Every structure is written in structure tokens, then in C-alpha cells.
Structure 1
């Protein structure tokens, strides 16, 4: 029991934690928040709230996540996303042994519908499930929607079209790759991020917008103190720009920190926090150009309609 807050409880994990993750999952007809914790053992620990005791307790992971059983090594990174408009989800994880698995799961029946895996040569430092930039909506956040941040469950008649989710896999010793449309092709179509072989371990990754054209890019932060920006190019990606920092990069987040309507890029490094902002002159120029286009569009009136008086 916490002395500062009698309603709080403390629970020591059975192993030293490596990667905590909280997610909303379907339980019966509702949803519940659970915590997934990877550690130094080859397993994932599931914590779920005991409402009667008002505390989180460890539960067998197969109760809600059957895809996280029989792991060959300890998991270094785990990503889970709920598929919008359905009761299904995608789960991806990478292990210290270089093992990568992606699973397509029906949350209502706790059934693994599809599963794909690969074996790489070195530890997997990061996996990220994301929609391709041209399919990403406003609620996509860092890379994908879930039940708590925009991924809902629709009631429309007929199954919705399968989203074209891709998977980023970054290693400590190999180049970074993207597997396109994992629901349709599994791990069969691999795209190498050009130039990633010239950098070392990727410690963080994000699907964010750094340009003023609304497009989204893949951002990778490395132990070698480099921030890499990969922009979509045809069916692949190209290295648009890179920037060096004074210490290894640990975390990335796009957010409107100043309240001016433009997203800044927060870069968490080993020795501090850096915030990248847009320059005012090109931003003002872009805003004026968009205002001119909007005024011209309104002056033309609606397509096919009569001109206003």
C-alpha cells in the first residue's frame, strides 16, 4: 500500500522489467485496460485489475493474448494495435534472439487467425505497426489507432476493407526494413530503408509529420545520435534528411507544445530534451499560399452550382 495514497497499491514484477505497455482490449461485450510487461525471462506478463480488491494482479497471458505464448527469447519490443471497425487486432514483437512474430487475432474468440515469423541475426530493438502515410488518418497518433485512441468498432453492414498495415523492424546490428501489407502478404514483401545500414542501433521510431504539406514520414532515432527521416517514395521510402544530436536518442513524439496549431517534434536524448520547431518565415509563406487557394476556391463557388450574387 502506498503511504501517500491509501487507494493505491504496489505490485513488484517477478523479473526486472524491460518494456511496459498498456492497452485497451475487448473483454466480453466491453473493454478493459491491461498492462503487458516484458522482462529478462522469455515471456510476457499480463496485469489486469481486480475490481473487488482495487488492484492489478498478474494473470495468465493466454487469457487475453494467446499470440504471446511459446516465446523463444525475451521480448525487447512489443506493439499492439486494434483494427478499426472490427474486433480484431495485430500484435508484433521482436526478441533478443532476433526472432520477430506478427499475429492477427480475433479478440472475441481469443483465436490466432494468422501468424508470421522471421529470424534475424541480431537483437530486435524496435517494431512498429503503422498505416502507410497515404492511408493514415487524423487519429493515427504515433503509428496506429487502438480502442483507446481512435480505433473503434463499427456496426456497418458487411466486413470493412482490410487496412494495409505495414511493419517496421529495426535491429541492433542489421539495417532497418519495412514489411508492406502484413495482413495480405505476411512478411513476404520487404522494403529496405536506404541508408539505414550506415547507422547503428535504432532506439526509437515514430510515424510523424515534419513537413508543412501534411504528409507523414518515418522517423528513426539511433544510439549513434542521429535522427533519420524517411519520406514515402513510390512503393518505398527515401532518406529525406538527418540530424545529429549530442547524445543517443531515446524517444520521439509529435505534439503541439506551443499551442500555435503546428506540431513540434520532441526528441528525448540521454542528456536532455530537444524540441524541433518550424521556421516562421516558410510557415507564414505556406499559410498565405493556402489562404489564397482557399479564397480562390470559395470565389469559384461549389462545383456545378450557380454563381452567387
Structure 2
């Protein structure tokens, strides 16, 4: 049987071979690095060094130093001008003593706001001023009868967050609830300040007490409202502040806050009562004192009743 010859494939030369796209040419500086992707831009050390050298030359330039000095001087004068104009309307230095509180003061103050029935005395303690003059009151950490801003600010924030939490538990939370509650609380405080300042103007009360005292006393009612909302929600199973439990707690906190304001604001609205040994304060007539007492009663009871009822139902 004859053996068939093996057939070896003959290589065929293709005339047209597809050309692959070559990478972009690499510069000599990137080849010296020898690292990284050639398609990616590599930082050039020479350029960096030159930029730092130019920066150093710029900073050593006398003209640049004069410009930097001028900028610092202008910034300093601008800051001083801003502080002077802001302090013309509001002195931030007077706000600092209102936050000088301690843990014991906060506890005693909260107890005083919620249980003011047997507290004595109500008069604020005085101390000699820097030059020995009278009329300087002790800070809150040294006198529980002194108003502070720490408790009112924290009470307002807690009230806003608590109202938002309750709305979320009821399935009614929306982002607008947070802003609406905060705006309502702020508007109430502003209206109270306008009422107090108008009453002081009409009654001729020229007491040197600062506006921050009145703002602080206006914020203490949020402590009672927080207690009312929490107790009513727990007792009524999340059905709001209605029911006899809610009304009972609201009545108590309202009366406690009203008595607290009546006793605390006497040094502001009834300044002549602080001086019984004769003096310029004794020149006020008995009729004017009666008008001031009526205004203090109306603010402590009627105004607080409207605002506390509105905020606890919001």
C-alpha cells in the first residue's frame, strides 16, 4: 500500500497587515520617571521647583511685602469698624454673664420655675461694681434669682425638637414642621418683648435693666410647656395634650410660671419697691404703682395664658 506524502501548509504572505494604533509619544521627561501610565499626565519636578522658586522670589520682593502689610492693616481696620458698628446696636460683652451657670444653678433654677410657691427671697443680690458704684447684680452662678440665657435657649431648642419628634411618631412629620415650630416660638418671644417695652414706655418705667433680662424671663415658660407636652403624651397614649391629665398639668405649669414672673419681674416693673428708705423712687405716685402692678399681672397671667396655650397646641 502506497504511503501518501504529508502535506505541509505553505505560509502565505499577506500583503496588507492591519496596523495597530501606537501610543502617543512619550516625552523624555516622562521616560526618565519610568513609572505610571504614559497616558496620564505626570507632574514635572522641574516645573514644581521652578514654581516654588518663583513664589519665594515673589515673597522676597519688597513690593509684595508692602502689599501684604497693607492687606493685613486693611483687614484689622475693617474688623475694628465692624465690631464698633455691631456693638452700637448690640453689645456682645453683655451676653457673656448670662451664660455663667453651673450644674447646681441649673437644677435649682428648674426647681424654682416649676415649684415657686415657697421660695424666698425673690430679690436679686447686688455687689459693688468695678468702681465701687451700686446697682451691679451677681451673675447666675452666684444668685439663683438672677436671670440666665442658658435655660431659655436650651428650653426653646428642646421644645422645637420635641414637637418635631411627636409629629414623627404620629406619622405627620414633614421638613416644614421644624421651621414652622421654631418660627412660631421666635415670633411669640418677639411679641412678648414688644408688649413689655410698650408697657414700660407707657408707664414711664426707666429701669436700667437690660433687654436680655426680659428675653430670659420670656423663655422660662418653655420649661413648663415641655413638661406639659411630655406628661400629656405619655398619659394620653400619644393623643395630644387634651384630656383631663393634659389640662391639669397645663394649669399647674401655667400658674407656676405666672407666679414666677410676678415675683421675678418686680425689680423691673416695680423699681420703687426696692427702695423703702426714702429717695427718688418714692416720688412715684400710688396711682402709677397701681397701674404698673396691673400691667405686671396682665403680662404674667393673661399674656402667658394665651401664648402657652397656643404653643402647647401647635
Structure 1-normalised TM-score? 0.20
Which one has the bigger strand percentage? Answer: 1
| Greater Cα radius of gyration, structure 1 or 2 | 2
Structure 2-normalised TM-score? 0.20
Which one has the bigger helix percentage? Answer: 2
